C-alpha cells in the first residue's frame, strides 16, 4: 500500500445533512454510493462493506492503492462470512411480543412467495424444500393482521446440521426486534436438540449477530 499520503486537501468543504462539520465532495460522494449499496441489498444500516465498496468503486483513493490492494480490501470487506455462537450455556432471553410461531404445512402457500418476493429465489427454494420434511424447523413472524413479516430456520439449508439460516424480515418491519426474536426461537430449539454450537451462514449484518447472540466470525483458513 502506498504510504506517501498527503493529508492536505485542495478541495473545498461543504455542509451535509450527514455530518456536523464541513466535508469534501468526495466524502459526500462515497457516502451516497454506500447508501445506494445498502438499499440495493435491502439493508437498514450502512456497514463497513458498503463503505469499502464505495471507496473502491468511486476511485477517490486510487492514488493511495495498487490494483492488488483494492482487490484485497474489496474481498475482505464485502465477502459474506460465516459466524459461530456457543450454545452450551444458552439462556433464552426476554423477547418482544410479536407473534412468533413455528410453521405448519399450510404456511407454505404464503411463506414461499413472501421469501421469493422479499429476498431471493434461492432462499424460497430452500424454504420450499424444507416443507418436504415432516417437521420443518422454521419460525415465522406475523403482524397484527396475521400477515407474514419475517422468517428464520435452521437445519434446512442443504441439509446442513447445526446451521442457522436463512433469516429475513421485510424492510418495513426491521429495527423492531423481529429478527432478534426469530433468531432466539431458533437458537433455543437448537440448544434443546443438544447442539453445542450454531453456525450462522453468510451472516449479515455481522454486528447484529455479535450483539444478539455473541457470535464471532469464523476466520479464513
pTM over 0.75: no
Distances (CA, A) of 154 to 53, 190, 195, 201, 210: 30, 8, 12, 10, 18
Distances (CA, A) of 153 to 127, 128, 178: 9, 12, 14
Looking at mean pLDDT, say which of 8-12, 13-17, 163-167, 203-207 comes out highest: 163-167
Distance from C-alpha of 103 to C-alpha of 111, rounded to nearest angstrom:
9
Write b or e for each residue in 10-29: b if 16 or more Cβ atoms lie within 10 A of its Cβ, otherwise e. eeeeeebeeeeeebbeebbe
Q: How far is CA 192 from the centre of its chain?
A: 25
Query: Is residue 60 located within the same domain as residue 150?
Result: no
* Of 79, 106, 123, the domain-final residue: 79
Could you give phi then psi for residue 203, rounded to 5 degrees?
-65, 140
Q: What is the pLDDT of residues 57-79, one digit of tens each?
A: 888 888 888 888 877 776 666 66
Query: Is residue 26 located within the same domain as residue 115?
Result: no
DSSP string, 172-197: GG-SSSHHHHHHHHHHHHHHHHT-SE
Query: Is residue 105 located within the same domain as residue 159?
Result: yes
- Which is it for the CA torsion 52, 58, 63, 67, positive or negative? positive
Q: What is the pLDDT of residues 172-200, one digit of tens each?
A: 888 789 999 999 999 999 999 999 999 99
**Domain extent at residue 63:** 13-79
Q: What is the pLDDT of residues 104-123, one digit of tens each?
A: 999 999 999 999 999 999 99
Query: Is residue 60 located within the same domain as residue 26?
Result: yes
Query: Is residue 53 located within the same domain as residue 109?
Result: no
Question: For residue 8, is it within any domain?
Answer: no
Q: Give the domain CATH number at 145.
A: 3.40.630.30
Q: Residue 78's closest CA among 168, 204, 163, 214? A: 204
* Of 28, 63, 79, the domain-final residue: 79
Query: Is residue 74 located within the same domain as residue 29?
Result: yes
Amino acid at each position: 500500500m502506498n504510504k506517501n499520503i498527503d493529508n492536505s486537501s485542495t478541495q473545498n468543504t461543504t455542509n451535509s445533512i450527514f455530518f456536523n462539520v464541513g466535508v469534501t465532495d468526495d466524502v459526500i460522494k462515497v457516502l451516497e454510493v454506500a447508501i445506494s449499496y445498502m438499499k440495493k441489498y435491502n439493508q437498514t444500516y450502512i456497514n463497513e462493506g458498503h463503505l469499502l465498496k464505495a471507496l473502491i468503486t468511486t476511485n477517490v483513493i486510487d492514488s493511495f492503492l495498487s490494483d492488488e490492494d483494492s482487490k484485497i480490501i474489496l474481498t475482505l470487506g464485502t465477502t459474506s462470512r460465516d459466524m459461530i455462537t456457543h450454545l452450551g450455556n444458552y439462556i433464552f432471553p426476554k423477547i418482544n411480543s410479536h407473534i412468533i410461531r413455528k410453521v405448519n404445512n399450510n404456511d407454505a402457500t404464503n411463506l414461499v412467495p413472501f421469501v421469493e418476493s422479499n429476498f431471493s429465489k434461492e432462499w424460497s427454494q430452500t424454504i420450499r424444500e424444507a416443507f418436504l420434511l415432516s417437521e420443518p424447523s422454521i419460525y415465522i413472524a406475523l403482524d397484527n393482521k396475521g400477515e407474514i413479516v419475517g422468517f428464520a430456520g435452521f437445519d434446512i439449508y442443504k441439509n446442513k446440521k447445526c446451521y442457522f439460516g436463512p433469516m429475513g424480515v421485510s424492510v418495513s418491519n426491521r429495527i423492531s426486534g423481529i429478527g432478534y426474536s426469530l433468531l432466539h426461537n431458533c437458537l433455543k430449539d437448537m440448544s434443546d436438540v443438544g447442539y453445542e454450537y450454531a453456525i450462522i451462514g453468510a451472516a449479515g449484518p455481522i454486528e447484529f449477530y455479535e450483539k444478539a447472540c455473541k457470535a464471532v466470525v469464523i476466520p479464513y483458513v
